[in-house]
A = this chain, B = another copy of it.
Amino acid sequence: MSEHKGYKGKIHDFLISNKIKVGDLVKVTSELTYSGILMPRYESGDENHIVLKLKSGYNIGIEVEKIEKIEKIGEGQSKIESSETIEKDEKLPKILLLSTGGTIASKVDYRTGAVTPALSASELYEAVPEIAKIANVDAEVLFSEYSENLQPQHWLEIAKKLDSMAESDYTGIIIAHGTDTMHYTSSFLSFALSGFPIPIALVGSQRSSDRPSSDAALNLITATKFLTESKTKGIYVIMHNDSNDDAIACHKGTRVRKNHTSKRGAFETVGGNPAFIISDDKILKNMNEEFFKSDKYEPKLDLDSKVALVKYHPGYDPRQIKDLADLGFGAIIFEGTGLGHVGNTMYEVIKNAKEQGLFLGMTSQCIDGRVSMTVYDSGRDLLELGIVPLENMIPETALVKAMWAYGNSSNADEIKELMLRNIASEFSFE
């Protein structure tokens, strides 16, 4: 690795004149004072920032123009170690890192400002060498997609890969994943891999790993720590708890939602606390009940994605859903209003869908809280039409579960039975 890898032009000159090399521990006085290791850069075209990895594992970018003073305070590390050269410590637990793409595996092209998924799993590992002190990590790229482009067939591919690891000697598995649909994937894996013998952590980042203020490194380090130490089972999403680095949250994969477009603590457990909080190197367990409702590993690796999510609103034109049976749809998950209602203008099309054998489930667009369809006349009417209330299941989780249930059933009654069985904490009672 070059002594100034990724630094070019005036910033390269600046480093040379200050006798600073990539890997050196430096102290930088700018608007604030930072100490950290000078990181290599992989993007081109940015001649304004140096990137430091702080002790927390967190990368920050500092504008060169604002640097008042920079001094080397520690010997240059022999190198930022690459995964090929890291000596594995056979006493450490083994972790598998599967990369699917997303920001956590992205690089910023500073010329266009755009982010592209490019970093391989081993590059990721190289970028966060702290992981090597916690576990021996095997890295593998499954695919390299933004998560908005992941489809149910990708979920299946991930699930099959994981299923093939059920008897392995890994202590846990990390899935590096884009954040846009990470909670959809975590839901599917929770149902498809019910009772999976080792814990699985989906990890993403809201800012790419070579970017100032990236959350990638800390999320990955914490996930590795969690998988090796928590002695639990289940499918979790591991991300920043809020906008600072003090705490990382570990959410049950069926109870989590991306509730903010951009902030680092975008993921929240709906209607409760995260299952675990990892802070100050301690893992605090908040879970009252185990993730899986059965200890037995019972994979069900099928799905049929022809399920509609219908968010009701005033003015909803029922013609939008009248042909679903003809298109081969097997279920409709409603995001009703309030306690689980839709307007009475919908009753006829609902009645038809029911007669055509579709499963009809009700959740609430309020997101938080429980549907309750016996309080008002409207709810009672819908119950009579055959709509099944799904308690406090998150709409997105209900949708994914219905796709999974439809793929593993031969009729609406079987779908209903699966939908109402609490498999992976999708119904919560906190």
Contact = CB atoms under 8 A, between A and B. Distances in A.
Interface in A334-371: 335-345, 364-371
Nearest to A321: B320
A334 to B, nearest CB: 12
A397 to B, nearest CB: 11
Interface stretch (A162-170, A284-292, A306-314): A306-314
A179 B314 contact: no
Interface in A196-213: none
Contact of A181 (B309, B335, B337): B337
Contacts of A369: 260-263, 266
Nearest to A261: B369
Interface in A365-394: 365-372, 374-378, 380
A366 B258 contact: yes
Given A378-B148, A380-B114, A399-B313, A372 B261 contact: yes
A354 B345 CA distance: 29
Interface in A300-336: 305-309, 311-315, 317, 319-321, 324, 327, 329, 335-336
A309 B378 CA distance: 22
Contacts of A154: 314
Contacts of A114: 374-377, 380
Contacts of A314: 150-152, 154-155, 181, 184-185, 305
Interface in A136-185: 146-152, 154-155, 179-181, 184-185
A308 B311 CA distance: 10
Contacts of A155: 314
A115 interface: yes
A339 to B, nearest CB: 5
Which of A150, A320, A372 has the most B CB atoms < 10 Å from its CB?
A320
B311 A317 contact: no
Contact of A152 (B315, B341, B365): B315
Contacts of A380: 114
A143 to B, nearest CB: 14
Contact of A151 (B321, B343, B370): B343
What are the 5 tightest A-B residue pairs by CB atom distance, in nearest-first order? A261-B369, A305-B315, A180-B337, A148-B341, A180-B338
A212 to B, nearest CB: 14
A308 B317 CA distance: 8
B262 A115 contact: no
A30 interface: no
Contacts of A260: 366, 368-369
Contacts of A259: 366-368
A399 B317 CA distance: 13
B148 A262 contact: no
Contacts of A261: 338-340, 364, 366, 368-372
Nearest to A369: B261
B376 A184 contact: no
B113 A313 contact: no
A426 interface: no
A399 B316 CA distance: 11
Nearest to A342: B148
A24 interface: no
Pick from A148, A329, A366 the residue with the most CB of B within 10 Å: A148
B115 A375 contact: yes
A116 interface: yes
Contact of A376 (B146, B321, B378, B399): B146
A29 to B, nearest CB: 31
B344 A149 contact: yes
A215 interface: no
Contacts of A340: 261
29 contacts: A114-B375, A115-B375, A116-B377, A147-B338, A148-B312, A148-B338, A148-B341, A149-B343, A151-B314, A151-B345, A180-B337, A180-B338, A180-B339, A181-B313, A185-B314, A258-B337, A258-B338, A260-B368, A261-B338, A261-B364, A261-B370, A261-B372, A262-B370, A263-B369, A266-B366, A305-B315, A305-B317, A319-B327, A320-B320
